[in-house]
Chain A
Amino acid sequence: MPEVTYLRPENIQDAVQLYRTTPGCRLLAGGTDLMVMLHAGTLRPQPRAVLDVWSLRELKGVRRVGDALEIGAAESYTGIIRSADANRYVPALVAAARTIGAAQIQNRGTLGGNLANASPAGDTLPVLLAYDAVVVTDRRTIRIDNFFLGYRKTALQADELITAVRVPLDRDVVFRKVGTRAAQAISKIVMAVCRAPARVAVGSVAEVPMRAGGAERALAEGDVAGAVGAVAADIRPIDDVRSTADYRRAVTQNVLRELLDAFTRE
């Protein structure tokens, strides 16, 4: 395999420019996905260069911007977990970040990476869906609802760079991940729920992180039992190496019931 060029822009403008003009270029942030695939030689097409955006100041940080919390695309999960603002305004996202990998992964993994990879099992993605987050890129904003187009396929253009994620401040979201073990586990199901507006977002139960429309409609009418019943038909889980469709369906319902009961108790 020909050697891969390492590019490290000094600022976001250079990064955007290099990304647009360098053929066969992959973005490198925390490397928790890219470096594995690079080493295993499984990236298709094989990259000619990696563009390191990890250290760009413009992509770091957690700060209030208007009535949203803006999180830099290359901010680490640890940075999110340690942020007082994140804990105050988006505790479900903090909860999700804490379930990703373990210390080593949290110190390097990023929202930008989680979004761009668009794995259906991405742990933060249902949370962002439940919050009605907005993906900010170098050229526009994309509502999270419109971000996931298919299996590992996003609305991003080929040379488009995610710069931040904006999350509304006024949502009350709860989260649960079910994985094979307590740390370092890809989820079997991962769910985030917002009571109002009604949002039921689930990962690992379809080819994309998805919103369960039927469950949301029932929830919007205050019908908890209806929501739990409807979510089974909303999702399209499969049997895979980690789990089974039957299990995922049963647990999705059980977890939704548990999370909605928690809202009722509050």
Chain B
Amino acid sequence: MVSRSPIGQSVPRREGVAKVTGAAKYTDDLVIVGAWYGKTVRSTIAAGRLRAISLDPAFDWSRVVVVTAADIPGENVVHLIRDDQPVLARVGGDIRHKEEPILLLAAPERGTLEAAARHVRMEYEPSTPVYDLDGALEVYSTIQITKGDVDSVQGEVIERTFKVGLQEQLYIEPQGAIAIPEPGGAIRIIGSLQCPYYVHRALKRALKLSDAQAIVVQAETGGGFGGKEEYPSMVAIHAALLARKAGRPVRLIYDRHEDLAATTKRHPGVIRHRTTVKKDGTLLAQDIEIVLDGGGYCTLTPVVLSRAAIHAAGAYSCPNVRIRARAVATNTPPNGAFRGFGAPQSLFAAELMVEHAAGRLGMSSVDLRRKWMLRLGDTTATGQKLTESVGSELVLDAALKAAATVQPSNRPTVRRGRGLSLVFHGSGFTGSGEKKLQGTIGFEALADGTFRILTASTEIGQGTKTIFCQLAADALGVSLDRVTLAPQDTSLVPDSGPTVASRTAMIVGRLVQDAAAEVQQRLARGEQPPIAIQKSYIQPDSLSWDETNYRGDAYPIYAWACTIADVDVDMITGEVRVTDLVTAVDCGKALHPVMAEGQIEGGSLQAVGWATIEEIKMKDGAYQNDRLATYLIPTALDAPRIRTILVENPYSRGPFGAKGIGELPMDGPAPAILAAIHDATGVWLDEVPATPEKVLAACASR
């Protein structure tokens, strides 16, 4: 037996040595003998019909493989939810956004490939594109959440409209996949991805492959943040089609420009609030309308809308709530998953409403939050009773205690301000999601005395591999080096569900823990290895969700965070510098404190970027910010000092009480920063990013 459990210890990252020596192999690092290079040719119109594709006969096509929609053996669809998105636009078919994939090319060298791409011409029949939310082409999804009766309530009314902007995930490793044809009609995909089984399902549908013929392997992945949740299916199918036609491996690796121009972004939108309060500050009603822009195809939009809607009332207890949410189609590149997944957008609005209400009432917004916050025993907007692990007041007090006194600005042209936000985030899949998924892992005791975890949950920097080994080693009572993981390869491991929704440590980690404990018991009873078992998620009976009426237990558990942001606003330029961020996070249990902090620090800076400098301007349905010189994320010189306080308030079903916190850090900073800007300047902005242009204009018009 090992004397000290690794749980709660910040043990070295499992793949850390490989990462600091440059030995870790990301997709484009892999040498595949005989592989050709692939490229996607994309639409230059935002809406219309594809009339014809012509290949210039003057070009030598003998060393180029060309794939069109006609070459798709299965269904011309990137399988996800609605199945509306084609793998490739077909001649005679619709185009619904710029950069829509039309044609694929492969060639032995990049020079030939680039030249070939210049000799392809598309003929279009353009139609009038629709870009604005009100004139939208169609509605992808609508959700209504009702509690009590907002229309029957009288009181002081505060109304406000908020806008949230697009955001690019900006993983430093661009999208990419390598497809390798294998015997028996099989195709192996090695790629930069979060969800091997999403890709597996999509690959089977488009390439008409059996379970065994589609093999999806995750390579070391340089960041995902949701941007590699669903998009890799598109890349993988494209690479596979080229490899199949070429009869050889094909590498389809995006450069940064293509990645910025063509891949999914955070859903932008408009959120309207009408809040009714009593003069003493009692919260009476919240009437909320959300419109999100899904772009040209549906992708994950209904699920993003769902999370946005469920979080829209904020971390507060209110007897009368109406949330009407819809997601619409426009002729812009489809939007998709990005950390937070709708919640940052709706919580941005909810938190600023608390500030506005406090302003109207002449109360401190911190006091108002104490009055309104959800507490143990309270019921959420969907009617979920919070029966355990409610961290609201804990994190508020912890953040307030930790925040340093504000030092006044020593420069006459720079104003200093502080803002606070209190947010929560549901861990795990919404509603019956986990139940439907039935995530499964395998666990083995091997003859050599080691143990192996078989899971499709991926390491994308957040510490999956390390934490799973900690949980297993602890349950087994062995040293960490006795525990290994099978590769994230669909031919080797079962479907544990996607690496998303803040579920990996809490839901899948719990399965690892339970499986290891079961194997340990069997060994203790004298059973000899090899032992191999599987463990699947079982929905607790106490959770129930009504999908039709959107009522009940939306998530197994929520986690809370309180963020205090300090800003310096330069009154000459309107520039907002976030100097300090203090965040208290209700994580249940910090299985690996350094990694938990790492999630909070990284997620917080992404939110700081979204709130301040990460702006995407659209022109004629295309992003103007399509290079790293124009899409700007914070550098080390821009980043605030970030201090994290981990508050441990256990959740009974999480491993050691752990709750999922991967996305929560994205929710708090933006509204806290806008409140800080108000504190510094006296102006309220209602949108993110709060660019210097907007800040200066707002200050000038005061």
Contact = CB atoms under 8 A, between A and B. Distances in A.
Do A and B contact each other directly (Cβ–Cβ < 8 Å)?
Answer: yes
Interface of A: 1, 40-41, 102, 178, 180-186, 188, 241-244, 246-247, 250-251, 254-255, 257-258
B184 to A, nearest CB: 40
A40 B628 CA distance: 13
A258 B635 contact: no
Contacts of A183: 635-638
A62 to B, nearest CB: 26
A41 B110 CA distance: 12
Interface in B449-503: none
Given A1-B115, A180-B613, A258-B413, A247 B692 contact: yes
B629 A258 contact: no
Contacts of A185: 632
Interface residues of B, number: 27
A258 B114 CA distance: 50
Contact of A182 (B624, B629, B637, B696): B637
Interface string B670-700: 0000000000000000000000110011001
B114 A241 contact: no
A241 B613 contact: no
Given A102-B635, A241-B625, A181 B613 contact: yes
B630 A247 contact: no
Given A182-B637, A255-B572, A255-B573, A250 B632 contact: no
Contacts of A184: 632, 635
B657 interface: no
A180 B632 contact: yes
Per DSSP, chain A at the interface is loop
Contacts of B637: 102, 181-183
B630 A178 contact: no
Nearest to B572: A254
Per DSSP, chain B at the interface is loop
B630 A242 contact: yes
B696 A250 contact: yes
Contact of A241 (B574, B630, B692, B693): B630
B634 interface: yes
B63 interface: no
B526 interface: no
Contacts of B629: 186
B575 interface: yes
Nearest to B619: A241
Given A184-B635, A185-B632, A258-B413, A178 B696 contact: no
B573 A254 contact: yes
Contacts of B697: 246-247
Interface in B605-653: 613, 617, 624-625, 629-630, 632, 634-638
A100 to B, nearest CB: 13
A235 to B, nearest CB: 16
Contacts of A182: 577, 635, 637-638
A251 B572 contact: yes
Contact of B114 (A41, A246, A254): A41
B111 interface: yes
A178 B624 contact: no
A181 B577 CA distance: 9
A178 B20 CA distance: 35
Contacts of B638: 181-183
A1 B116 CA distance: 11
B413 A181 contact: no
Contacts of A255: 572-573
A179 B124 CA distance: 40
Nearest to A255: B572
A258 B412 CA distance: 11
Contacts of B624: 241
6 contacts: A178-B573, A181-B638, A183-B635, A184-B632, A184-B635, A247-B692
